[in-house]
């Protein structure tokens, strides 16, 4: 597959059972074949997307000493600011050429999770930064919830199988800034090849190219969302749950050609996580004599912790 398949969430939300089932089968097959889809018809309005890009450009333009006041040491970068070059891909030690901010869950329905999740960090210098970030978080969370309902049907589970596990899950909206490149990187990339930790990732149309996906033929192909699309991919948690029936797809953000080194890049992925108590045990219907169980049983919270250590954040 040399291109990213497209889908429209409105088909799934329609009252037409045939259209809904066609959507389910299409995205399921696409996730199996390449692990990515380009999704239209989602809940995130274009203006709200533009508003958040405006806010994050303003935040990353703040002086370094100001941004560093929002870096919470010992939090594994789960909230607030993480400085340039501090995260690296699993299996590497060279830091990626990026800095980022994390918006997390504002808990309303499950206050017991306040003892587990870190608090969100408020940026004093920007009046609308947290407000807009939280609005986008909720819109993307709503989209992810519906997508997981479609995925559940594809896996022949109850349509609402994931609902209890993702209600106020430990999801993160990450605002990423890839600054202009000022000298030739020796080994570093803007984001080295990696798979995401979570269930599914929803990526807003990035301001700047460079995202590539490794297809099943081990070929790197460009993955650029149109302004009205979200790029969706399978994460390692869902891959693990399905015994690799829906494989997590390796992707990266390559460095631009030298003539474009002076251009910054901004990106806004939403990482849909379940609550820490969700078991990621391989689903029984995903294992048989031809497809033996590939992973040990583990809870989502334990898996996340292990991966944060591997990324150099914890």
Distance of alpha carbon 135 from alpha carbon 133, whole angstroms? 6
Residue 195 lies in a domain: yes
At 88 the pLDDT is: 59
Full domain range(s) for residue 38: 6-310
Burial class (CB in 10 A: 0-12, 13-18, 19+), 226: exposed
Whether residue 239 lies inside any domain: the answer is yes
In a domain, 49, yes or no: yes
Does residue 52 sit within a domain? yes
Q: What is the pTM assigned to this prediction?
A: 0.91
CATH number, residue 170: 2.60.120.330
Q: How many domains does the structure of the chain reveal?
A: 1
Q: pLDDT in tens for each of the 314 residues of the chain?
A: 568 899 999 999 998 999 999 999 999 999 998 888 999 999 999 999 999 999 999 999 999 999 999 998 877 778 899 988 776 566 666 667 789 999 999 877 677 787 888 889 999 999 999 999 999 999 999 999 999 999 999 999 999 999 999 999 999 999 999 888 776 666 666 777 888 999 999 998 755 577 888 888 888 888 877 888 999 999 999 999 999 999 998 888 877 777 778 788 898 999 999 999 999 999 999 999 999 999 999 999 999 999 888 877 76
Question: Is 265 domain-assigned?
Answer: yes
């Amino acid at each position: 597959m040399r291109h990213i398949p497209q889908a429209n969430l409105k088909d799934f939300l329609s009252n037409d059972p045939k259209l809904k089932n066609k959507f389910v089968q299409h995205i399921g097959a696409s996730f199996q074949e390449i692990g990515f889809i380009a999704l239209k018809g989602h809940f995130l309005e274009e203006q709200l997307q533009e508003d958040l890009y405006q806010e994050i450009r303003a935040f990353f333009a703040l002086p370094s000493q100001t941004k560093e006041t929002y870096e919470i040491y010992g939090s594994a970068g789960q909230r607030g600011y993480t400085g340039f070059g501090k995260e690296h891909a699993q299996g590497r030690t060279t830091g990626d050429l990026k800095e980022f901010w994390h918006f997390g869950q504002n808990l309303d329905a499950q206050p017991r999770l306040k003892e587990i999740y870190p608090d969100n960090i408020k940026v004093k210098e920007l009046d609308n930064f947290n407000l807009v970030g939280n609005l986008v978080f909720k819109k993307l969370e709503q989209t992810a919830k519906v997508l997981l309902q479609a995925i559940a049907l594809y896996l022949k589970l109850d349509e609402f199988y994931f609902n209890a596990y993702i209600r106020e899950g430990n999801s993160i909206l990450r605002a990423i800034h890839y600054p202009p490149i000022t000298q030739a990187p020796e080994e570093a990339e803007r984001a080295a090849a990696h798979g995401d930790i979570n269930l599914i990732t929803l990526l807003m149309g990035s301001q700047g190219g460079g995202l590539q996906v490794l297809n099943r033929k081990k070929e790197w192909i460009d993955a650029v969302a149109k302004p009205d699309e979200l790029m969706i991919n399978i994460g390692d948690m869902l891959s693990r749950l399905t015994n690799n029936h829906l494989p997590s797809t390796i992707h990266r953000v390559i460095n631009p050609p030298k003539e474009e080194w002076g251009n910054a890049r901004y990106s806004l992925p939403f990482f849909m996580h379940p609550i820490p108590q969700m078991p990621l045990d391989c689903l029984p219907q995903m294992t048989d004599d031809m497809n033996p169980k590939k992973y040990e049983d583990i809870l989502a919270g334990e898996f996340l912790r292990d991966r944060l250590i591997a990324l150099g954040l914890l």
